Amino acid sequence: MQHVSRDTGTWSYTTRKGGHDGAPEFVAGIPDDWNEENVIDLILRPLEDVNAQYPAWEVPARVYNCETLFRWWAGEKPKR
């Protein structure tokens, strides 16, 4: 299940097999300067590894342990 909340700027996602740190649900914050097109871009972004176990929008949380989305493919660094 996926849910985007414009009011809070977060994206909640429940996975069938563990999510971030094994939790079945985690939240990814959407940066204030992102618009709907930025979010859609990320959702539809293909990963280089076609066998990846998770979608592109989960990369910030799973790979960088970051709670906020960022443009990792463009060399952007996570905001801490």
Q: Write the pLDDT tens digit of every residue in 26-79.
A: 678 899 999 999 999 998 998 888 888 888 888 888 888 888 999 988 999 988
For 47, which DSSP code? P
- Nearest 5°: CA angle at 38, between 34 and 40? 135
pTM for the full predicted model: 0.65
What CA–CA distance (Å, rounded) separates 54 from 10?
18
What is the model's pLDDT at position 25? 67
